[in-house]
Amino acid sequence: MNSEKWIDEELAHLREKSLERRLSVFGEAGGKIKIEGRTFLNFSSNDYLGLSRHPQVVSASRRYLESYGCGATASRLITGTLEPHAELERAIAALKGYGASLVFGSGFLANAGIIASLVGRSDHVFADKLVHASIIDGIALSRANLKRFRHNDPEHLESLLKECPRSGRKLVVTESVFSMDGDIAPLPEIISVAARYGAMTMVDEAHATGVFGPRGSGLIREYGLDDRVNVSMGTLSKALGGYGGFVACSPALRELLVNRARAFIYTTGLPPAVVGSAIGALAVIEKAGNPGAQLLGRAAVFRNRLQDADLNVLNSQSQIIPVLIGDNARALAVAQRLKSEGILAVAIRPPTVPEGTARLRLSLTLDHSEEDLEWAAREIAEACR
Ligand SMILES: *Cc1c(COP(=O)(O)O)cnc(C)c1O
């Protein structure tokens, strides 16, 4: 069709720069999967605790499916708030140490809905340079004025806050564990700076929830900052193995979001089976005590192996371990070679990461045994050589 000619040109342009992306279809999900009968270690799954196929999580999901049906059948403010939604929100608030919680359709929708409810056209948002795309889109939706501070740099944040006009609300946003670098924000320093300038604070714990902190409650709680961070955001779709997003906050903020967050109001409530899987996952974590600690221990050993082979893992301090490669085409070639050895490690390229920093992003999960990791570290070192 003539009206679509520009699409071919755009795609050709992506291909030239080795930036074209394609969907691959898999027969199963998780840290260890079979493809055409062959077992692969999957280092691109966010199923950190192996809960997506955990029998107790699956059976909890099934129980809610059978009791409540396939869909919430309405948006949350109409008749789409079922008992399971309320039960899950109580459990999240308790885990996170906040007075209230609100579940959204996804983490992306949570970020979009929260930020646009807290700030508007005459307000100011200060976000770390490396925050997730959903935070950036939430800020764009809010129409607030965006300033980005250098990655994990509270001093730069302070200089931006100092320059900012007094009028308007201020919001400081960061992640606790960064999704592409696997490093950790200096939360106590960032929160102190924000407090000095009267700014609200929001922390995205997508990759910390379930893994860091007492009973997987995240880093806000580990640092004892739950009474100082206004918005503790997270997702049900990573360590919890399911789908959906959430915020833990004060009861007043929850009420504001229920009234203002368009990404909450104008969409159907999460299906009961999905809510049930999150409730099941939280129960499994609670019973296990601290499954994240085991994962982090294995990650530390694995990281040492890669560093011993002279690979650059940036400042990773978590279960997410980048291996910096730089060039887009070379990153793709390394990923291709690892695949032929039985290791899935997707090459992450711009615009997901800054230009010239193409990398392998390795996510460890409890599906990877210590022996698996020893073997994988040797193969990765070999492929990068
Ligand atoms: C994955 C992710 C999200 C989005 O969560 P979904 O539930 O997958 O929509 C938000 N923030 C960060 C930092 C993430 O990594």
> What DSSP letter does each residue of 6-30 carry, written as one string?
HHHHHHHHHHHTT--------S--S
- The verdict on residue 209 lying in a domain is yes
- The verdict on residue 173 lying in a domain is yes
Among the options 85, 96, 132, 170, which is catalytic? 132
Instruction: Tell me: do 240 and 374 sit in the same domain.
Output: no
Nearest in space to 245 (alpha carbons), one of 99, 135, 151: 135
Instruction: Tell me: do 97 and 133 sit in the same domain.
Output: yes
100-114 pLDDT, tens digit per residue, is: 999 999 999 999 999
Q: Using CA atoms, how far apart are residues 78 and 102, in angstroms rounded to an integer?
A: 15
Atom of ligand 1 nearest to the CA of 175: 13
The pLDDT of residue 352 is 83
DSSP-based three-state secondary structure for 214: helix
Domain closes at, from 240, 259, 288: 288
Q: Using CA atoms, how far apart are residues 190 and 326, in angstroms rounded to an integer?
A: 29
- The verdict on residue 219 lying in a domain is yes
Please count the residues of the chain.
Answer: 385
DSSP-based three-state secondary structure for 68: helix
160-186 pLDDT, tens digit per residue, is: 999 998 899 999 999 999 998 999 999
CATH number at residue 374: 3.90.1150.10
Is 368 known to be catalytic? no
Is 156 known to be catalytic? no
Instruction: Tell me: do 250 and 138 sit in the same domain.
Output: yes
Nearest CA to ligand 1 atom 7: 107
- The verdict on residue 233 lying in a domain is yes
Is 204 known to be catalytic? yes
353 and 314 Cβ atoms separated by less than 8 Å = no
C-alpha distances out from residue 125 to 119, 195, 363, 372, Å = 8, 14, 30, 43
∠ at Cα 151 (150, 157), nearest 5°? Answer: 50
Quick check: CB of 206 below 6 Å from ligand 1? yes
DSSP class of 108: H
Give percent of the chain above pLDDT 70: 100
CA of 235 to the centre of ligand 1 (A): 6
Instruction: Tell me: do 166 and 282 sit in the same domain.
Output: yes
The pLDDT of residue 322 is 96
Q: Which domain, by its residues, includes 308?
A: 22-53+290-384
Quick check: CB of 132 below 6 Å from ligand 1? yes
Is 238 known to be catalytic? yes
Nearest CA to ligand 1 atom 5: 107
CATH number at residue 199: 3.40.640.10
The pLDDT of residue 165 is 87
201-250 pLDDT, tens digit per residue, is: 999 999 999 999 999 999 999 999 999 999 999 999 999 999 999 999 99
316-362 pLDDT, tens digit per residue, is: 999 999 999 999 999 999 999 999 999 999 899 888 888 999 999 99
Instruction: Tell me: do 363 and 316 sit in the same domain.
Output: yes
Alpha helices in the chain (DSSP H): 5-16, 55-68, 83-96, 107-118, 133-142, 154-163, 187-196, 219-222, 251-260, 262-265, 272-288, 291-308, 328-341, 370-384
Quick check: CB of 237 below 6 Å from ligand 1? yes
Instruction: Tell me: do 309 and 355 sit in the same domain.
Output: yes
User: Which residues pair with residue 231 across a beta bridge?
Assistant: 202
Instruction: Tell me: do 246 and 379 sit in the same domain.
Output: no
Domain closes at, from 288, 321, 349: 288
Among the options 101, 111, 179, 328, which is catalytic? 179
pTM of the predicted model over 0.85 = yes
- The verdict on residue 193 lying in a domain is yes
Atom of ligand 1 nearest to the CA of 109: 9
Neighbouring CB atoms inside 10 A of 371's CB total 8
The pLDDT of residue 344 is 96
How far, rounded to the nearest angstrom, does the alpha carbon of residue 57 sit from its chain's CA centroid? Answer: 20
Quick check: CB of 175 below 6 Å from ligand 1? yes
Confidence of residue 136 (pLDDT cuts 50, 70, 90): very high
DSSP class of 216: G
pLDDT of residue 17 exceeding 90: no
- The verdict on residue 10 lying in a domain is no
Confidence of residue 385 (pLDDT cuts 50, 70, 90): confident
Which burial class, exposed, middle or buried, applies to 22 when counting CB atoms under 10 A from its CB (0-12, 13-18, 19+)?
Answer: exposed
Instruction: Tell me: do 107 and 250 sit in the same domain.
Output: yes
Atom of ligand 1 nearest to the CA of 235: 7
CA of 40 to the centre of ligand 1 (A): 25
- The verdict on residue 80 lying in a domain is yes
The pLDDT of residue 346 is 87
Nearest in space to 216 (alpha carbons), one of 202, 228, 231, 234: 234
Q: Using CA atoms, how far apart are residues 28 and 363, in angstroms rounded to an integer?
A: 17
How many structural domains is the chain composed of? 2
The first and second tokens of residue 180, run together, are 């592409």
Give percent of the chain above pLDDT 90: 93
Instruction: Tell me: do 133 and 62 sit in the same domain.
Output: yes
Nearest CA to ligand 1 atom 3: 107
195-211 pLDDT, tens digit per residue, is: 999 999 999 999 999 99
Quick check: CB of 108 below 6 Å from ligand 1? yes
Atom of ligand 1 nearest to the CA of 111: 10
Looking only at Cα atoms, what is the longest distance across the chain?
62
237 and 57 Cβ atoms separated by less than 8 Å = no
Among the options 207, 232, 318, 367, which is catalytic? 207
The residues, any chain, with a CB within 8 Å of residue 183's CB and separated by 6 or more, are 152, 177, 314, 315, 316, 317, 318
Q: 2-16, 61-75, 194-208 — which is least confidently predicted?
A: 2-16
The arithmetic mean of pLDDT across residues 56-84, rounded, is 98
Q: Using CA atoms, how far apart are residues 96 and 217, in angstroms rounded to an integer?
A: 5
Is 137 known to be catalytic? no
Quick check: CB of 106 below 6 Å from ligand 1? yes
Instruction: Tell me: do 172 and 46 sit in the same domain.
Output: no
Q: Using CA atoms, how far apart are residues 326 and 221, in angstroms rounded to an integer?
A: 35
Nearest CA to ligand 1 atom 8: 107
The pLDDT of residue 335 is 96
- Of 46, 48, 134, best ligand 1 pocket probe by most atoms within 8 Å of the beta carbon: 134
Is 207 known to be catalytic? yes
To which residue do tokens 């960064």 refer? 178
pLDDT of residue 18 exceeding 90: no
CA of 309 to the centre of ligand 1 (A): 31
Instruction: Tell me: do 238 and 358 sit in the same domain.
Output: no
- The verdict on residue 68 lying in a domain is yes
Domain closes at, from 221, 253, 288: 288
Atom of ligand 1 nearest to the CA of 178: 13
Confidence of residue 32 (pLDDT cuts 50, 70, 90): very high
Does 22 or 42 have the greater pLDDT score?
Answer: 42
Instruction: Tell me: do 66 and 104 sit in the same domain.
Output: yes
Q: For residue 351, is the peptide bond before it cis, meaning its omega torsion is within 30 degrees of 0?
A: yes
The residues, any chain, with a CB within 8 Å of residue 311's CB and separated by 6 or more, are 323, 324, 380, 381, 384
pLDDT of residue 289 exceeding 90: no
Confidence of residue 2 (pLDDT cuts 50, 70, 90): confident
Mean pLDDT of the chain: 96
